[in-house]
Amino acid sequence: MPQTAIPCVVMRGGTSRGPYFKLADLPRDRETLTKVLLAVMGSPHERQIDGIGGAQWLTSKVAMVGPSKHDDADLDYLFGQVLIDRGHVDYAPNCGNMTSGVGPFAIEAGMIEASDPETVVRIRNVNTGAFIEATVQTPDGGVTYEGEAAIDGAPGTAAPVMLNFSRMVGSITDKLLPTGNAMDVFDGIEASCVDVAVPMITMRAGDFGKTGYESKAELDADKALLARLEAIRIEASERMGMGDPTGRVVPKLCLISKPRAGGSVNARYFVPHECHATFPLVGGMCLAAASVVRGTVIEGVGHASDAHKQSLAIENPVGQLETMIEFVGSRKAPEIVRVGFMRTARRIMAGEVLIPSTVWDGR
C-alpha cells in the first residue's frame, strides 16, 4: 500500500525544532493522532532513525495549528512532546519556544492575513489554556526571518518574535501554589511547587551538594541525583493533587543557585529525567512567577524586586533567558498578569512527511 503523505513545515522555534502541521491535516481522535506523531518522529527509537525527530528532547516536538473558535484568539495551537525511547506523546505541557513559530507558520499557510510592518497573532494554547499574543515581523505584508535579534541557544541573528503569555496560572492544577504553600519539604529538602504554564518543583542546588553551575552532561551522569529527584517529584506530585507522575513529563523539576553572570538567578531545568540543554520558556514563566512570590525557596538566592513590571534574567547552560513579568497585588499573593519573551524563528523545510498507511490512511 502507498504511504500516507502529510503536509508539514519544519521550523526552528526559539531553541527548539520540529514539524508544524495544520490540525485539519491530522486525525482528530487523540489515539490515532499519537500513533501518527510517533511515526512522523520515529519513536520509540533512541536515534529516531525511521522518522524526522532529532533524537533529543529539544528536537522531538510537534506544533499543530488551526483556526480558533474562541473570541480572544485567532489560532488554536496544540503541542506534542514526542518521547524518544517510549511510544508516548505528552500533550499536558506547552512549549513556549515552539510557540514562536506558530505565528509565522500560520501567516505563510494563509491562516492569518499579514499587515505591514508587523502582524499581531492571538494564539490559544490548547494544552494549558494559556493565551499568547505573538508579534511577527511582516514588512510589506510578508513574513521575514532575517534580522538582528539574537537569543542564547540559537546561532546567528534573526527577526524578533515577541511573545506575551497570559492566563497561564494553574495550567494543570488550577492553582498558583498547588500545595497551598509557598514552601514545602520533601525528603528533607525545601521546595516550592508553582504552576504557571507548567507545574514545577523548584529546589536549591546546594541542598543536593551541587553548585548549580554543572553542565547538562555532568548532571545527567549523576544517577543518584536523578533518582532522588524522581522520588521527590513523585511525592510532590501527589501533594500537588496530580497523582502518580510515573510515565508523565509533568511536574517538572528545577534546581537554582545564585547568579554569577549578572542575571537574576541561575537555574537548571529537568524534563524530568534529564537536564534541559537550555532553559524553556514555560520554565521561565514558572520560575519568574515563583521569584515574585514571597516565601519561596528563591528568596535569598534570586534577585526579584517589588516592582509590578520587571525583567528577570535566568542564567542557564547556554547563557541567559530574559523574562519579563507583570503582576498585580502583593507579593504574598500576586496575580500574574503576563509574562513576555523575545524569541526568533526560522522556516527550514516545507513539503510532506510520509508515514506507513497502516498507521493512518489519511481519511
Q: What is the tens place of the pLDDT at every residue in 205-248?
A: 999 999 999 999 999 999 999 999 999 999 999 999 999 999 88
In angstroms, rounded to a whole number, what is the distance separating the alpha carbons of residues 306 and 117? 35
In this structure, how many other beta carbons lie within 10 angstroms of the beta carbon of residue 74? 18
- Is the sign of the CA dihedral 131, 168, 85, 59 positive or negative? positive
In angstroms, rounded to a whole number, what is the distance separating the alpha carbons of residues 136 and 144? 8
For the chain, what is the HEC assignment?
CCCEEEEEEEEEECCEEEEEEEHHHCCCCHHHHHHHHHHHHCCCCCCCCCCCCCCCHHHCEEEEEEECCCCCCCEEEEEEEECCCCCCEECCCCCHHHHCCHHHHHHHCCCCCCCCCEEEEEEEECCCCCEEEEEEECHHHCCCCCCCECCCCCCCCECEEEEEEECCECCCCCCCCCCCCCCEEECCEEEEEEEECEEEEEEEHHHHCCCCCCCHHHHHHCHHHHHHHHHHHHHHHHHCCCCCCCCCCCCEEEEEECCCCCCCEEEEEECCCCECCCCCHHHHHHHHHHHHCCCCCCECCECCCCCCEEEEEEEECCEEEEEEEEEECCCCCCEEEEEEEEEEEEEEEEEEEEECCCCCCCC
Given this model, what pLDDT does residue 243 score?
97
Q: Cell numbers at residue 296, please?
A: 519561596
Residue type, 65: V
Q: How far apart are the first and last CA of the chain?
A: 14
Given this model, what pLDDT does residue 34 score?
98
**Residues whose CB is less than 8 angstroms from the CB of residue 180 and which lie 6 or more positions away in sequence, other chains included:** none
Which domains does the chain possess?
Answer: 4-168+345-355 (3.10.310.10), 184-333 (3.10.310.10)
Give, in order, the Cα–Cα distances in Å from 306 to each of 20, 281, 286, 302.
39, 22, 17, 13
Given this model, what pLDDT does residue 80 score?
98
Given this model, what pLDDT does residue 196 score?
97
In angstroms, rounded to a whole number, what is the distance separating the alpha carbons of residues 176 and 182? 9
Q: Please name the residue that has the C-alpha cell 514558572.
A: 286
Given this model, what pLDDT does residue 247 score?
86
**β-pair type (89-90, 75-82):** antiparallel
Instruction: Please answer whether residues 38 and 62 qualify as being in contact, where contact means their C-beta atoms are separated by less than 8 angstroms.
Output: no
Which residues of the chain are modeled with pLDDT < 70? none
Q: Cell numbers at residue 120, please?
A: 499581531
Instruction: Please answer whether residues 20 and 11 qualify as being in contact, where contact means their C-beta atoms are separated by less than 8 angstroms.
Output: yes
